[in-house]
């Protein structure tokens, strides 16, 4: 297969399909989504068989068991895909929404209309459910999409692609609106990230290494985040009970997620009060603590068994593991400065009962999600009420934070005139 010419053809077909998708009305898009859900239900056995092929090949290649887990299309994963599609059907259609139509002194009326971005490229690892989730969100938001899943999932992704395209054509939409790349050749990824004429935005979903490489080489804008170095700051006017609950939940609810706390900041005045109790909670989960000098003394006095001294490197590290760095600070100003210096601008939370500080923290912390008295684990499209999530953005331009349907759209200006000309 000649990859550049294959990818150009895929791109051209996607661009053509995107015009039809932009025109499609809500009922048609919902019909396609429902037909896809029905086809997945009908062909579940075939999907499992295709997935088995992928799993056999992956085992033969010695894939790690965690990756095998993610690659597995369990009954529950199939049910979740179908439920996800039904949820997307239920979401309001963002396309065509007109806002702020105002008359100008010249007589024209000016406002904005929400429109699809066009063609979305999605590059992801070996998780077959992403194929259906991403296709569903792109269909509902009136975009065409080009999907490039992990090569280990190629059989299952191809089988899913067939069902998605069956749903599209069943609703009278072009099959090319969702194309799954048919090759595992890595050159296809290189082509995708350098065809701005055919792809309007790339959403990479995967490890930090993959995304860093894509950023380096991409000439197409991306909706992405590299990592989640999230903070909880326990203020000296915190409600201690809330502080304990939040600091424990933000670290221990799940270790591998990007909205997990990696560094705990504690006001020096309250540290002796909260750290001993908190360490009891962390000990129940065998969490390793890396503490600055003041925190170290307190934890050492309590004989915390998994304790070491934090270094500069710890403030910059996303552990994704039962490890937590702890730093004591003089006050909220020092906490905000630390966060704005070391945070990955993903999610940071303050625990305080002080009104003025809560307002300042919300305004001055420069992160995609800023919270008061809540666990960082809430930074998630579903928890925020977006209905579904195509990814998370730590960037400031375009979408920021969890990205739902609206993040796959943009606003254009619309002008309603009556023959006006500019004098």
For residue 273 the two structure tokens come to 């009060």
Residue 414 found at the interface with its own copies (CB under 8 A): yes
What minimum distance in Å lies between the beta carbon of 300 and its own copies?
A: 28
For residue 349 the two structure tokens come to 């939370």
- Interactions with its own copies, residue window 43-62 (CB under 8 A): none
Residue 204 found at the interface with its own copies (CB under 8 A): no
What minimum distance in Å lies between the beta carbon of 238 and its own copies?
A: 10
Q: Which stretch binds its own copies (CB under 8 A): 28-36, 52-60, 246-254, 283-291?
A: 246-254
For residue 404 the two structure tokens come to 């739902």
Residue 256 found at the interface with its own copies (CB under 8 A): no
Token pair 């050749």 is found at 185
For residue 255 the two structure tokens come to 């270790």
Q: Which stretch binds its own copies (CB under 8 A): 46-54, 58-66, 108-116, 148-156?
A: 108-116
Site string for its own copies, 303-342 (x = CB under 8 A): -------------------------------------x--
| Partners of 339 in the β-ladder | none
For residue 9 the two structure tokens come to 């053809």
- Reported as type and span, the H/E element at residue 129 is helix 128-140
Say how far apart CA 264 and CA 285 lie, in whole Å.
16
Say how far apart CA 113 and CA 95 lie, in whole Å.
8
Of the pair 188, 193, the CB lying nearest its own copies is at 193
Return the number of other C-beta atoms located less than 10 Å from residue 59's C-beta: 12
φ and ψ at residue 328, rounded to 5 degrees = -90, 145
Residue 356 found at the interface with its own copies (CB under 8 A): no
By the 8 A CB rule, do 351 and 373 touch? yes
Radius of gyration (C-alpha) of the chain in whole angstroms: 24
By the 8 A CB rule, do 264 and 257 touch? no
Of the pair 233, 296, the CB lying nearest its own copies is at 233
Residue 253 found at the interface with its own copies (CB under 8 A): yes
What minimum distance in Å lies between the beta carbon of 113 and its own copies?
A: 7
Residue 344 found at the interface with its own copies (CB under 8 A): no
Judged by CB under 8 A, the residue of 3, 213, 364, 387 near its own copies is: 364
By the 8 A CB rule, do 289 and 271 touch? no
Residue 372 found at the interface with its own copies (CB under 8 A): yes
Site string for its own copies, 148-177 (x = CB under 8 A): ------------------------------
């Amino acid at each position: 297969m000649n990859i550049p010419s294959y990818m150009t053809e895929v791109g051209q077909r996607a661009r053509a399909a995107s015009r039809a998708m932009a025109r499609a009305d809500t009922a048609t898009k919902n019909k396609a989504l429902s037909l896809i859900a029905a086809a997945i239900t009908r062909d579940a056995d075939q999907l499992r068989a295709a997935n088995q092929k992928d799993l056999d090949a992956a085992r033969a290649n010695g894939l790690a068991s965690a990756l095998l887990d993610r690659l597995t299309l369990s009954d529950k994963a199939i049910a979740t895909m179908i439920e996800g599609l039904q949820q997307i059907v239920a979401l309001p259609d963002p396309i065509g929404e007109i806002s702020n139509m105002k008359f100008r002194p010249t007589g024209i009326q000016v406002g904005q209309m929400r429109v699809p971005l066009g063609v979305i490229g999605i590059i992801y690892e070996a998780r077959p459910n992403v194929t259906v989730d991403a296709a569903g969100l792109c269909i509902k938001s009136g975009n065409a999409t080009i999907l490039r899943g992990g090569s280990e999932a190629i059989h299952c992704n191809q089988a899913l692609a067939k069902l998605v395209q069956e749903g599209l054509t069943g609703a009278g939409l072009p099959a090319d609106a969702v194309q799954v790349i048919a090759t595992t050749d890595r050159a296809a990824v290189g082509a995708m990230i350098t065809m701005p004429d055919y792809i309007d935005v790339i959403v990479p979903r995967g490890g930090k290494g993959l995304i860093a490489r894509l950023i380096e080489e991409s000439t197409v804008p991306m909706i992405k985040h590299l990592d989640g170095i999230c903070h909880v700051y326990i203020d000296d006017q915190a409600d201690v009970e809330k502080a304990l609950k939040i600091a424990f939940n933000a670290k221990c609810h799940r270790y591998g997620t990007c909205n997990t706390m990696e560094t705990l900041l504690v006001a020096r005045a309250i540290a002796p009060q909260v750290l001993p109790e908190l360490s009891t909670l962390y000990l129940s989960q065998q969490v390793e603590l890396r503490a600055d000098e003041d925190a170290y003394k307190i934890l050492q006095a309590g004989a915390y068994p998994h304790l070491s001294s934090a270094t500069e490197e710890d403030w910059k590290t996303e552990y994704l593991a039962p490890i937590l760095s702890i730093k004591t600070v003089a006050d909220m100003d020092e906490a905000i400065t630390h966060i704005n210096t070391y945070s990955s601008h993903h999610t940071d939370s303050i625990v305080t009962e002080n009104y003025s500080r809560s307002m300042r923290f919300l305004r001055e912390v420069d992160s995609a999600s800023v919270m008061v008295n809540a666990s960082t684990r809430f930074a998630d499209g579903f928890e925020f009420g977006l209905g579904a999530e195509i990814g998370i953005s730590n960037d400031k331009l375009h979408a920021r934070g969890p990205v739902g349907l609206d993040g796959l759209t943009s606003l254009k200006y619309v002008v309603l005139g009556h023959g006006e000309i500019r004098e």
